[in-house]
Amino acid sequence: MISYKTARPLLTMFSPETAHRLAIIGLKLGLAGSNRTPDDPILATTVLGLSFPNPVGVAAGFDKGAEVPDAMLALGFGFSEAGTVTPKPQPGNPKPRLFRLEEDEGVINRLGFNSGGLAPYLARVKARKAKGAKGIFGANVGKNRETEDGAADYAIGIAAVTNYADYLVCNISSPNTPGLRSLQGRAQLQDLLTRVLAARAKAVTPGQKIPPLFAKVGPDLDLLAIEDIAQVALQTKVDGLIIGNTTIDRPAGLKSPEAPEAGGLSGKPLTEKARWCIGEMYKAVGGLIPIVGCGGIMNGTDAYRAIRAGASLVQLYSALVFYGPELVVSIKRDLAEHLRKDGFKHVADAVGADHRK
């Protein structure tokens, strides 16, 4: 196993996108090794009928093409999500389009759903299922840039992956595809989720368990938008929500010279905003819909605070840029310590605890 502390100085010699590609290749070759230490029982949780050994997962965006979900699970993550995949291949936005904010522990991307399309993605996830791979895997789908009827692309994607993933995600929160976030509007979201849920029901193999469907919405929401999304989620009976993605805001005090770059900001500068959004959405849905907290999870304390705000599960990606895959071990250890210190017997008991004071 090559430690990230050793590998990172080499990776930072390359552009962020090249470094990311090298990381994927390293994972495919097994250079990151694995962690066979059993998870602390306090971290085990069941969400929507899925049994997670721990609540810490890999967010979409890290493994766009479903190349290394099992390598990430072997490192100790409780679940791994791959995508966003679009129905047709598309190159995304012009390079450079990915930037490290070293001084701020943040990342800016304007990738624009660069995707190899459904064909190679499906080939990998089908092969994974055929060999009986273990661990919870999520498939995240999006729309092609030129598609006018966005809901149609989501229905195509969800129908294609329904039988090969443990859960499904519609990503309508990226700021880098023109018009995508408009799908978070009440009428548009109602139409999209209605059509996607119908596509899932039609595609599932008879006798197979229907995988839960999550809608992934961004953190740049005000209270009115949160209320609208909550009402649509409750009305359509979508299974869960992922909150959030990247922000187009630039908080005061950013120090990195790359901070003015256009695109979505993630990492440490997003932590507080994402947690606020999780808490407000949890209250808006009355705790009736599971939430996955995604945005600014940099350590075990961030994970714990997101869970107390209302997240049943958490995901990370940008933190891996700065701390590497070994980070998951320390997050799980610190999360377990926080839970015991505050008297919780299971991680599920802490979900939404901030709203029960």
| pLDDT recorded at residue 185 | 86
| Pairing of β 45-47 and β 50-52 | antiparallel
The 10 Å CB-count burial string (b at 16+, else e) for 129-146 is eeeeeebbbbbbbbbbbe
255 vs 50: CA distance, rounded Å:
41
Task: Evaluate whether residue 8 is within a structural domain.
Answer: no
E-assigned strand segments in the chain = 45-47, 50-52, 56-58, 79-85, 98-101, 106-109, 136-141, 167-171, 213-217, 240-243, 264-267, 291-294, 313-316
Q: Which tokens sit at 286?
A: 């009355």
Task: Evaluate whether residue 55 is within a structural domain.
Answer: yes
Residue 165 contacts residue 139 (beta carbons within 8 Å): yes
Q: How many domains does the chain have?
A: 1
Task: Evaluate whether residue 128 is within a structural domain.
Answer: yes
210 vs 166: CA distance, rounded Å:
9
Task: Evaluate whether residue 11 is within a structural domain.
Answer: no
Question: Which residue numbers in the chain have pLDDT < 50?
Answer: none
Peptide bond into 244 cis (omega under 30): yes
**Which H, E and C letters describe 58-86, residue by residue?**
ECCCCCCCCCCHHHHHHCCCCEEEEEEEC
229 vs 193: CA distance, rounded Å:
11
Burial (Cβ within 10 Å: 0-12, 13-18, ≥19) of residue 272: middle
Q: Which amino acid is at 262?
A: A
| pLDDT recorded at residue 1 | 56
Measured between alpha carbons, how far apart are the two ends of the chain, in Å? 44
Query: For residues 165, 307, 76 and 105, what is the CA-based torsion angle, rounded to 10 degrees?
Result: 110
Where residue 80 sits, what CATH number does that domain have?
3.20.20.70
| pLDDT recorded at residue 2 | 63
Q: Which tokens sit at 6?
A: 């050793």
Task: Evaluate whether residue 4 is within a structural domain.
Answer: no
Number of C-beta neighbours around residue 301 at 10 A = 15
46 vs 292: CA distance, rounded Å:
13
Catalytic residues: 174
Task: Evaluate whether residue 3 is within a structural domain.
Answer: no
256 vs 305: CA distance, rounded Å:
26
Collapsing DSSP to helix, strand or coil, 167 comes out as strand
| pLDDT recorded at residue 174 | 83
Mean residue pLDDT of the chain comes to 95
136 vs 52: CA distance, rounded Å:
7
Using left for φ > 0, alpha for ψ between -120 and 50, and beta otherwise, residue 354 falls in: alpha
Task: Evaluate whether residue 111 is within a structural domain.
Answer: yes
Task: Evaluate whether residue 84 is within a structural domain.
Answer: yes
Q: Which tokens sit at 219?
A: 């953190």
Nearest alpha-carbon partner for 310 in 353, 274, 263, 357: 353
251-255-257 Cα angle (round to 5): 110
- Residue at token pair 């990230």: 4
CA 30 to chain centre: 23
**Residue ranges making up the domain that contains 165:** 38-356
